[in-house]
Structures are given as structure tokens and as C-alpha cells.
Amino acid sequence: MSIRIIACGVFRDALRQIEPQRFHQNVAITFINPYLHNYPQKLKEEILYQIHLAKKEGDEILCLYGRCYPDLDDHLYEMGIPRVPGEHCYEILLGSRRFHALIDEEAGTYFVEKDLILNFPEYCIQPLELDDPLMRKSYFKYYKRLAYIRQPLDPDTIMPNVQDISRFLKLKQMVIDADYSELTANLLRLCREGH
């Protein structure tokens, strides 16, 4: 039996570190471009298409995504496909307890990770028209801080980008190290359950 993990590309480095192949001898991973988050309908179509391909191969499937489009959990439930727990990729990268502690500490926390940082113009500035100060104020008026989730494979050269974004959005900056322990435990459990 083969296990196919259908994952958002933001988890590429995390899965390189975790190596889910250690939990099951036949694990393959399909990464989907994070840019599709800007187009929820296209994201939905691509996830369902990759599930269709994996089913044709006879793979057991598990999904490594947050709730990135409204009906995702309903679709997965109907198909009997488990999803790694977590509302957002940020929660999955930090672990649920740590993520919620940060939100409780400051609800106006804007989380970013490497992929969003390196593609901020394409993912945020252009589609949200953030070059317009009024649009920027409208989107970010309730945010107080920018929290960069640093992963072990992130290059040190990313920090100037983080500083540029925090200045651009007028948010104080903080750096939090990712914690893969909860994600690792969830992947191990799902692989052992035959999913």
C-alpha cells in the first residue's frame, strides 16, 4: 500500500526535515503551488484533481493543508480522506498550543513564513493593491505585529525581506521558530493508521 500526502508547497521544507518516509515505506508527496491561495476555486480544483490522480493509482491519501477553502473538510470527509489538524498552515507549523497562545497574547498578529515573505509582491501587494495607502490601512488596521515563523532550512538572507515587510505594513516584528513536533506526531499517527 502506498500513501500519498497532498500538501501545500509551504510545507516542503517541513516535510524534508520530518521525512515521513521513515513512518511508512511507501510515502509519496504531491506539493501544490501556494500561489493558488489567491484563487480559492482554482485551489479547490487542483486539490480535487490531485486526489483523483492518487485514487486512480490506488493510493491511500492524506491532506496536509489548513482550511484553505470553505468546503475543504466537507469534501475530504465525503471521500474518507483525513486532513492533518490545524486551521492554518501557521498553526500547523507552530503547533496548536503555541499558535493559540500567540493569538491570545495579541489577536492582531499577522503571521508570515518563507514562501509568503519571498513572494509578498505577487501574493499580497499586487492582488490586494497594497501600494495604495488606503487599501493598506483598510486591510491591516487591526494588526499590531508581524510574526515571522522561521524554519530550520530558511536562509539567513530572508531577514531583510521580513524587515522590509514589517516597515511597509507598519507592524512591529517578531521571529518565532517553527516547531514540527505536533505535525510529526500527526503524520506518524495517520501513516500508522494506514492513511
The string of pLDDT tens digits covering residues 126-161 is 999 999 999 999 999 999 999 999 999 999 999 999
Model pLDDT, residue 195 = 47
Give the confidence band of 194 by pLDDT, cuts at 50, 70, 90: low
Please report which confidence band the pLDDT of residue 25 belongs to, taking 50, 70 and 90 as the band edges. Answer: confident
Q: What percent of the chain has pLDDT over 70?
A: 99
C-alpha separations of 96 from 100, 115, 185, 195 in Å: 6, 21, 12, 22
**In terms of Cα–Cα distance, which of 141, 194, 142, 133 is closest to 168?**
133
CA separation for the pair 6, 185 (Å, rounded): 17
Provide the b/e sequence for 8-45 (b: ≥16 CB within 10 Å): bebbbbbbeebebeebbeebebbbbebebbeeeeebbe
Give this prediction's pTM.
Answer: 0.93
